[in-house]
Amino acid sequence: MTPSSFPSKEEIARLTARMLLEIGAVHFNAETPFTLASGLPSPTYIDCRKLISYPRIRAVLMDFLAVTVMREAGFEAFDNVAGGETAGIPFAAMVAERLALPMTYVRKKPKGYGRNARIEGVMTEGSRVLLIEDLTTDGGSKLSFVDAIRETGAVCAHTAVIFYYGIFPETIDTLGRHGVSLHHLCTWWDVLAVARESDAFDRATLDEVEAFLTSPRPWQAARAKG
């Protein structure tokens, strides 16, 4: 069912951050930083995949995501909702249900057999496709999915995520140069604000996280392994 009443964008961000903290999706560790997919260190890590195991929270967040897309892109802006393999697939299915639209998904690479397809499901030429994923850091990983969608003759000018890092200024430019607008529910700044209010982590850890969020590249460079 399509949501019909919407909290403000600010309230959506606050509530999303609170839910992510509540289910233990947020991890802060300043003493032993996590290693990101890029190989760089970070005192923060988020696991949005955990949301699929919490039906009440996932239902609310999928309502929020549908509402955010309709507000920012338009109520009749899309013909198809595509999930990026693998984390985006369940969220795309739930958003597609709310928007009453067909759902597809995009493989990271061709299967290597059969039709050798990257798109699973029905995606037609000229269809306006919304790409759904769980999160984005610098936006780079979205571009391969967008290109695969466009190769079918479909149009992909929007991507929506639950969580956007919100600390790398190049993200919006990277997507914008590719003709893609980003829609999101919350950022690390929203999570940090709620974490401080709730005493979810000790003050020293939160201060180190804030230092990272304020200057992520220098923080990483200072702690990167040689």
pLDDT per residue as tens digits for the range 154-183: 999 999 999 999 998 889 999 999 999 999
pLDDT of residue 114: 53
Residue 226 belongs to some domain of the structure = no
In a domain, residue 18? The reply is: yes
Identify whether 196 is part of a domain.
yes
Average pLDDT over all residues of the chain: 92
Contact 50, 25 (CB under 8 A): yes
Question: What is the arithmetic mean of pLDDT over 37-53?
Answer: 91
Going by C-beta distance under 8 Å and a sequence separation of 6 or more, which residues neighbour residue 175? Answer: 139, 142, 143, 159, 181, 182
* Rounded CA Rg of the chain: 18
The pLDDT, as a whole number, for residue 139 is 79
pLDDT of residue 110: 80
Residues 194-202, mean pLDDT to the nearest whole number: 91
**What is the CATH number for 88?**
3.40.50.2020
- For residue 226, pLDDT over 60 is answered with no
The per-residue pLDDT for range 79-136, each reduced to its tens digit, is 999 999 999 999 999 999 999 999 999 999 887 665 668 999 999 999 999 999 999 9
Say what the pLDDT of residue 1 is. 53
Query: 20 near 163, Cβ under 8 Å?
Result: yes
Report, as an integer, the average pLDDT of 41-57: 96
Range 175-197 average pLDDT: 96
Give the pairing type, strands 41-42 and 34-35.
Answer: antiparallel
The answer to the question of residue 25 being in a domain is: yes
Residue 148 structural domain? 9-218
Count of domains for the chain: 1
Q: Is 116 a member of any domain?
A: yes
User: Would 139 be classed as within a structural domain?
Assistant: yes
* Residue 224, domain member (yes or no): no
Is 3 contained in some domain?
no
